[in-house]
Every structure is written in C-alpha cells, then in structure tokens.
Structure 1
C-alpha cells in the first residue's frame, strides 16, 4: 500500500532513543514521503514528497514550458498523489497513475540540459510547496492531459462519474499544440478485427449519433454496431476521442484532434495561459472550476 506520512523523528540513537541534538529535543517534522512501485525493478522506493512532485513534472510536462504552467502541473501532481494515498492505493511510475522519473532518468532524458531543466522544475515545485487543490474540503481528482480539441470534457462524459470541478471549459490554446491534429493509418483488416465489424473499402466510416459537451464523440454506429468514442479510441489506440475514420482501400485513415482524455487541465492550455501572463493560481482555477488551493498538511495530519 502506498504510504504518505509525516516522519517525526530525524536521527535518534536506536538503543536509547536519545535525539542527536545539542538541546536533546526532537527536531522539526521532516518532509512526507511517497512509496512508488518502480516498473523496471518492481521494487517500492520511498521518495520525499517534493522530490516525487518534481519527478512527475519532469516526466509529464516539457521542461521548456513556462514556469507558471510547470507550477500548475506541480500542484496537480501533488494533489493526485495525496488523493491516491488517502484512498490507500498503490502508486506506480507509469501512466496508470502519473509518470515519475528519478534523477538518473532525468539525466538520461535531458543530457546536457539536465542541470538547467532540473533547476527550473525543482523551482516550480518549491514555489508551490505543499499546495493542493481542494473542493468541498476534500482533495480533488486532479486529472490532466496533453492537449484538447479546443474544449475540455465533462468527467461524466468520459469516466461516467460527475465531478463539479471537472466540467467542460473552452481551451483555445490547444490549437497551438504540435499534436493538435494528427493522422493515424491502420491496416483495414486490423481495424476490422479490433472493432469486430466489416468495413467498407472507401468513404467515411461510422455515423456519429451523439457528441459530448467537449465536442468529442459520445456514440458512433459503425456498420450497425454501436460504440462510445472512448471505446473506439481505446480499441484502435487513438490519440483522442474526437476523430473521423476514412476507408481507403486496404487502409483506414483516422484524423484526430487533441491528445488525451480531455478531462481536467490541458497541459498545452496551461502553457498558453502562462504565456499570456496568467499565474498557476489562475490556471488551476480555470481548469478546475470551484476548486481552491489549500495546504496538504491539513490532510496529512487528520
């Protein structure tokens, strides 16, 4: 089970329990730690909370982004790990939770830019230290994604679970993302096998019967079989649930907008807002309407 806890003792002599302090009084509370299951070794590592947050920001957001966007990501990462801990969930270093890269991973990723990028990201984490997002006196599910189609998604339209702070908002900055529009080509036979249908040799595939508040496909009928947009996205491993499929002989060309599930904070949207001079407080307030910034320590000591 993942543990996030306050370590009260710093260094004590095990045999006597005497604090190694000139005044013989307990030291101040140390930083909380996070237990992370590392996929390469399948071993659990205990990581100081703020080091973990910086490692998530390093893995989840380009270091070239504006600092206020990095700070917004740090708050989201810190909030996410707290909610998982309070639920008693194990946490991995993958997209199943949130990606985490340690110091060696960062050196491998950044090479000669390691020191500069590390300093920038650690500063972003430090300047938001302890800050989390709260709604109705509880830490929120701080969902985030790479880029959208110009609009974020209501949580119930993707996860069938409504959260008042995960509602559709305009995200026009997404259009500047390099992955805003993409084309995915699949062998027609592969697409047929994954969808369980026979596809035509040419033309637009499917009849969109409903769209979500965020403009993604809510439901689509393909050759008489009904799917949700999320189902097609996951079956065909598409970047987004905002897509159009076209049959072209032995190939299926899928045109998509955005990258990710679309719920919560758009990372490219956050960067766009930061470029316009918005602070991390304004960015998180925009993408998580109604949520407020609070101190994590309040929840760690309940």
Structure 2
C-alpha cells in the first residue's frame, strides 16, 4: 500500500506534466558543491548492467498470446488518459537534470539502446522493457546508483542508456534518421503505458546485447534467484549478430597482472636448484594452465581454475574486460587466446535475439513472454486502481 500511495503522488502532477508537453523538457543545473557532496547511493540489488548494441537453429516460437494483452490505447484517447508520471534523469556529461514525461523518457532510452533499423516488434519489446525498468524504480522510490538525490535515474548503462530530448532532436533531424526517430516513437506509442509484472509488481526487466545461444539464470550472475529471469534458448541472433565471436590475445604476464595472480600461485618445475636457490618459472614454461570446473545453465563459465586459483566466469569477464563469460581458452605461440560468444551479462532479453525473433514473425508480446518467464502485461493505470 505504501508503494502504491507513493506512485499515486508521483502521477498526480497534471500541471507540471502539461508544461512539459507544451514545451521542451525542463533542465536543471546542479551547483557543483551540491552534487559533489551528495553520497553515492547503494547499487541495485539486481543492477541492470546494460550492454549497448553496436539465427540460426530451430527453436519453437512461444505460444501465441492475444495482442490485446499488450495493446495500447487508441491515439485518439490520449488526451483523456491520466497524466503521465515524470522522470528526472541525471545527465552525466553536463551534470544537469532533465525532467520529462514517462513516454518521452522511454523514447530517449529506446534511441540509445536499439538501432532504429531493428524490426518494429523488437523495438516495441525494448520499449516495454525500458518502461518497466523505470516504473519499478518510481514505484519503489528507488534513487540508488544516482549521484544526486533529485534524480530518479542516470543516463548511463548503470541504469539505462538515454539520449536527451535536445540531442535526439538535433541528431535525428533530417533524412533517414528522421524516419528512424518516427519509427522509435511509433514503437513507444503502440505500447503506451504497458509494463511487465510478476504477481502484480513491475519486474526487474534486465536486458543485454546478444547471447551465445542461451540466456542466463539470474542467480548465476547476481547470486539472487528471480523466478522470471530463467535461462532460455536464444538461437535467433547467431546468424545476424555482428562480431558474435570475438578473440582476445593475452601474454601470460598480462593475465597474471589482470587476474591478480603471482608466480607463487603457479606450479613450479622443482623446489630447489642445486645451488640452493628457487628455480625461476618463466611465463612461457608456466603457461597459466586453465581448467573449466563447471558451466551455468546458460552454457557460460560458472567456475574456472586458472594457475591453481578458482574464479567465477563473471570475475574473469570483468577482470579481463571480456564481452561475455561464455568463452574458450587456448594457447598459441606463447600467448593465450580467449574467444567470447555473445555480448553482455546474459540475463533477461537478448536484444539481437529479439530482433531475430521479430524477423521470423514473432510479436513484441511473444518476444517478451519468451525471455521473461511467466510475466503478465499491465497498464500503469491498472496499478493505480489497486
């Protein structure tokens, strides 16, 4: 009840919303002392960790879901709708705060997160995911991860990437880009007000760029089991994702440095030489041996032993700056070659997978039902009536 009262207060701001619709979004500049003094708030329990963008295999499409489930209100009824909640976005480059209506914010996120030449149904699926993410934060009064308390969210991938309205109008001002912006806004309009819920509450709508064939269970990345963030097959992006497989080359010394390993952790050829001094094990002879201990349900590295030290796949990915924790490891010419598959943490919706599904005729509803297990679709206005 407390959360719903909070959301009602957020939504009951018709005068401010009306001003935002008539003119440009309101921009506030923060005094440097104010935001420098503000403490960083706690990170999300399940951070979004979005990876910016830029199929083969036979996978049965999910059961058809009536489009009425996620159908938007007809455009002619927009004026009669309840006022939209406002979103205050911290613009990391300028230190300003942009405050604007929810649907305009979703347009800015969609432009930042997906290319306009993606299929319309994939864009609609992304719009619903983006709207669900911010609705969950607004409902909970969550300002975590934002450098200033006045903002609801930042414009970075720590939350959702976002392009400000001024930049959107400037960079999409002419030619094909103008048509692309119209397509993005159509995707937002056709899903207007719709969010995903689980047991009546907005979900954590995490998404990422592309998988290597399967998504991840949430607990294999965040150590928290979420019933709607389950591992599912995602073969659709295999034939359409650019740079699906990327190979990184490391020397043994680079790996030791990045992984925080020392020579003491490497297997020694012998304990003592005849002179009584310890033998020096060279990088080329030590070789940093690696052995995969276990895999996740999403076919990524769960645990791996490197030079005798056990790491999680996520740790290796983050320490080495890899695109994915689904990787292979081999040695060649005294170097270690690590090849990754896919791009991102792997939890939730694959953006390239969504585009692949849409190319094969899946609707936004079917895409979302596939990547988020057991969710329902709800209008924000429905939550207000509870």
**TM-score (ref. length: structure 2):** 0.69
Match of 1:179 among 232, 235, 243: 243
Match of 1:47 in 2: 100
**For the pair shown, which has the larger CA radius of gyration, 1 or 2?**
2
Which structure has more strand as a fraction of its residues?
1
**Contact preservation (8 Å) 2:323, 2:342:** yes
Question: Which range moves more in the overlay, 281-290 or 174-183?
Answer: 174-183
Please say if 1:218 is aligned against 2:302: yes
Distance in 2 (CA, whole Å) between partners of 1:116 and 1:204 is 52
Relative contact order, higher structure (CA 8 A, sep 6+): 2
Distance in 1 (CA, whole Å) between partners of 2:203 and 2:215 is 17
Match of 2:208 in 1: 145
Aligned ranges 1:7-46 → 2 under 5 Å: 7-9=13-15, 29-46=82-99
Question: Which range moves more in the overlay, 212-221 or 37-46?
Answer: 37-46
Match of 2:255 in 1: 191
Distance in 1 (CA, whole Å) between partners of 2:129 and 2:81 is 27
Question: Which range moves more in the overlay, 106-115 or 29-38?
Answer: 106-115
Tell me, what secondary structure is at the counterpart of 1:165? coil
Count of residues in Structure 1 that have an aligned counterpart in Structure 2: 287
Provide, for residues 221-253 of structure 1, a one-character-per-residue CA deviation record: whole Å limited to 9, x for no partner: 001101000000011111000012334456432
**Contact preservation (8 Å) 2:172, 2:181:** no
Please say if 1:98 is aligned against 2:160: yes
Give the drift of 1:301: 6.5
Cα distance change of structure 1 residues 274 and 218 upon mapping to structure 2, 3 Å threshold: same
**Contact preservation (8 Å) 1:189, 1:250:** no
**Contact preservation (8 Å) 1:201, 1:249:** no
Provide, for residues 74-107 of structure 1, a one-character-per-residue CA deviation record: whole Å limited to 9, x for no partner: 0000000011222322310001001001234334
**Contact preservation (8 Å) 2:172, 2:178:** no
Cα distance change of structure 1 residues 70 and 43 upon mapping to structure 2, 3 Å threshold: same
Aligned ranges 1:1-302 → 2 under 5 Å: 4-9=10-15, 29-90=82-143, 91-106=153-168, 107-108=170-171, 112-176=175-239, 177-197=241-261, 201=284, 205-248=289-332, 251-299=335-383
Cα distance change of structure 1 residues 46 and 104 upon mapping to structure 2, 3 Å threshold: closer
**TM-score (ref. length: structure 1):** 0.87
Give the drift of 1:42: 1.7
Question: Which range moves more in the overlay, 97-106 or 274-283?
Answer: 97-106
Moved over 6 A (4+): none
Runs of 5+ consecutive residues of structure 1 not aligned to the other structure: 13-26
Root mean square deviation, CA, Å: 2.5
Distance in 2 (CA, whole Å) between partners of 1:281 and 1:28 is 23
Tell me, what secondary structure is at the counterpart of 1:240? coil
Give the drift of 1:187: 4.6
**Contact preservation (8 Å) 1:204, 1:247:** no
Distance in 1 (CA, whole Å) between partners of 2:174 and 2:253 is 41
Tell me, what secondary structure is at the counterpart of 1:168? coil
